[in-house]
Copies of this chain bind each other. A is one copy, B any other.
Amino acid sequence: MTCPWRALKEGLTRRRFLSSGLMAAAGTSLGGPCAFAALAPAQEKDVPSSIQGDATELFWGEHQGGILTPLQRNTYFAAFDLVAVERKDIVKMLQAWTAAAANMAKGLPASPLGDDGSVPAPDSGDAVGLPPSRLTLTFGFGAGLFIKEGQDRYGLAAQRPAALVDLPRFTGDQLIEARTGGDLSVQACADDPQVAFHAIRQLSRLAYGAAQIRWAQAGFTPDFKAGETPRNLMGFKDGTHNPSVNDSSLMNKLIWAGDEGPAWMRGGSYLVTRRIRIALEHWDRMNLAFQEQTVGRRKYSGAPLGGKDEFDKADYDATDKDGNPVIPENSHVRLASAAHNDGAQILRRPYSYNDGANFTAERWPPWRQEMEYDAGLFFFCYQRDPRTGFIKIFDKMSKFDMMNQFVTHTGGGLFACPGGIMEGDYIGQQLFEKA
């Protein structure tokens, strides 16, 4: 008879496997050399999954997944520091990561499970029975891969793209070192928080001796219908004016790296992520009109001030009867708009995060002591070049955005996410083999 885990190895998804007859067969006394012969027969359930978790996202392709992919419900992001001494150890890890990621994107364990219970299983098992949940894994390289403390540790310094700058210190930055930077990044996105975390956890195990987690953060979005713009924790729709991912020439112009940098970045993109605490306890005390002036949009409809519909074009020239702009000069949408940034645009994938609450003492009268939420925006954006993308846009926003009274950037990083992976290759192969 077939060992049930062999069936799993051979391509059944986790959920299909558990509901297939193979497990029941394995429960009989016919079980031969398979160590899992005592596995229980699966209970067949008629109840459908509460989410459409069986959908998968393609792992192989010209571009990495998780960039243009419709936003999944959950994310788990990890930045890693390299401890590998030699380049070949990084390559080995990236090969293992690629194989594991391709498996997990299909809803399989990270590595084919052996039959030997006497060794640590190659997969921690917490996603067994869970559907693929549209898992994507998006890999990035930080500046530290190329040069760290002045050292070209892996002989890759010449391959550092000009666009992979050190992020400048922006006005108001309160970055915590333990939540900032990293030599490598992996963002897992999935419609299930356990599937996303499971994926990073397996990669972290595979990295043992070569890289270790520097910081990690979970994020989520609310339940929203396809095509709807989810609200963030400020209660406003977030992501309305994203460039259309269906416009491939626009994506080539704004998101995908072309021939301007090293060959290994062609078809890739630059990720800027920021962990942004929102002072929700203060925001909630502001009146609605002030909130809308701050954002430049109506709260409930998402329409730009002066407009009626979420997708109405913002009229930045409109003035009220006193001659004041309808959309305030320092409002968030005006400062972020392409119109006020020489056409600069980035692709946002905004998640929220929620890490509970902490004690704080206020820095201004009446010097109240209170709890503040450790919650806010876990911001991700992709762009062809951060110098003409996030850095250009945020430099001005960090100085003038009315919203800055309520938000504090406490961590993040910039990562060069290489082009997609063709089956049989591994992530970043062109960088490591041509350098």
**A residues adjacent to B (C-beta < 8 A):** 23, 27, 36, 38-41, 43, 45, 47-53, 73, 76, 78, 117-121, 124-131, 133, 178, 191-195, 197, 201, 204-205, 212-218, 220-228, 231-236, 280-281, 283-289, 292, 298-303, 307-310, 312, 352, 354-357, 359, 370-371, 373, 375
A selection of 21 A-B contacts at a CB cut-off of 8 Å is A36-B300, A40-B302, A43-B310, A47-B226, A49-B223, A78-B357, A117-B292, A118-B287, A118-B288, A118-B289, A120-B284, A121-B287, A125-B236, A126-B232, A193-B222, A194-B231, A195-B222, A212-B370, A215-B357, A216-B371, A355-B356
Candidates B125, B218, B281; contact of A354 at CB < 8 Å: B218
- By a CB distance below 8 angstroms, the chain B residues around A193 are 220, 222, 354
Interface centre among A131, A178, A205, A284 (most CB of B within 10 A): A284
By the criterion CB–CB under 8 Å, are A129 and B231 in contact?
A: yes
By the criterion CB–CB under 8 Å, are B354 and A197 in contact?
A: yes
- By a CB distance below 8 angstroms, the chain B residues around A204 are 281
**Additional A-B contacts beyond A39-B298, A125-B235 (7; CB < 8 A):** A38-B307, A117-B292, A125-B300, A126-B232, A195-B222, A215-B356, A218-B355
By the criterion CB–CB under 8 Å, are A223 and B133 in contact?
A: yes
By the criterion CB–CB under 8 Å, are A218 and B288 in contact?
A: no
Candidates B48, B127, B201, B221; contact of A284 at CB < 8 Å: B201
Candidates B119, B218, B352; contact of A194 at CB < 8 Å: B352
Candidates B215, B223, B355; contact of A191 at CB < 8 Å: B223
Task: Report the Cα distance A79→B408, complex, angstroms.
Answer: 25
- By a CB distance below 8 angstroms, the chain B residues around A51 are 50-51, 223
By the criterion CB–CB under 8 Å, are A217 and B356 in contact?
A: yes
- By a CB distance below 8 angstroms, the chain B residues around A232 are 126
- By a CB distance below 8 angstroms, the chain B residues around A288 are 117-121
By the criterion CB–CB under 8 Å, are A309 and B222 in contact?
A: no
